[in-house]
Amino acid sequence: MGQNVRARSREILRAELAAAAMDYVAEVGFDHATAEQIAQGIGVSRATFFRYFGSKEDALVSAARVVPMSVTDCFRAVDAEAGSTAWSTLRRAFAPLAEAVDANPAVLRRRRHLIAEAAPLRARLVSMNVKEWTELADALGERISDPFAARAVAAAAGAALELAWHAWLRDESAEFAHELDRAFEAMSTAFSITLG
């Protein structure tokens, strides 16, 4: 139990430092802040900053993480109902993410816009997402007998999530849960559309 408490405390502190780093960079600009300046600006030592993050990009993209659990952990936490599809189970697994986004939309929009405006942050986000979807494919592979199909479902879920993020960012009045539902529905029907 001591390890779990310690790990949880570390994760909470990491999230707080990431949020503070994002707020600092939002004020001074991405190109005008080094990791050392961010550490000083948020009141921690350089060593403390690098104990939690490998780079300023890592810290800033971590601030956009909405829930403390990974997508894979969320998927594993959802009980698959008898007869439910992998797709519907994944949508239910994303519910905590959607709820967290809709609970704090202004802050998350600001963070996502900052990431979208800085090429190194976009690259870091893509790198994190590739790792996330690979882990999700492995978790799906535990429930789907075909590993290739598991990778396809994970990739489609990643695409649906990105589609929801983009739609949500374009419409200031949108609710993320609604955009996520729209994206999952569009992805589930898109492959059966007949081309004219």
* Number of DSSP helices (H) and strands (E) in the chain, helices first: 11, 0
- For 49-104, how does the pLDDT look when each residue is reduced to its tens digit (9 = 90+)? 999 999 999 999 998 887 777 899 999 998 877 778 999 999 999 999 999 999 99
Mean pLDDT, residues 9-19: 90
Question: Do 71 and 23 share a structural domain?
Answer: no
Question: Do 82 and 48 share a structural domain?
Answer: no
Question: Do 81 and 23 share a structural domain?
Answer: no
Read off the CATH number of the domain in which 76 is found: 1.10.357.10
Buried b (16+ CB within 10 A) or exposed e, 35-73: beebbebbebeeeebbebbeebbbbbbbbbbbeebbbbe
Q: What's residue 83's pLDDT? A: 77
Containing structural domain, residue 160? 64-196
Query: Pick from 119, 132, 125, 121: which is nearest to 158 by CA?
Result: 132
pTM: 0.85
Q: What's residue 1's pLDDT? A: 57
Q: What's residue 2's pLDDT? A: 65
> How many domains, the chain?
2
Query: Pick from 152, 118, 137: which is nearest to 26 by CA?
Result: 118
Question: Do 100 and 12 share a structural domain?
Answer: no
Question: Do 132 and 44 share a structural domain?
Answer: no
Read off the CATH number of the domain in which 20 is found: 1.10.10.60
Question: Do 170 and 111 share a structural domain?
Answer: yes
- For 142-190, how does the pLDDT look when each residue is reduced to its tens digit (9 = 90+)? 999 999 999 999 999 999 999 999 999 999 999 999 999 999 999 999 8
Question: Do 142 and 95 share a structural domain?
Answer: yes
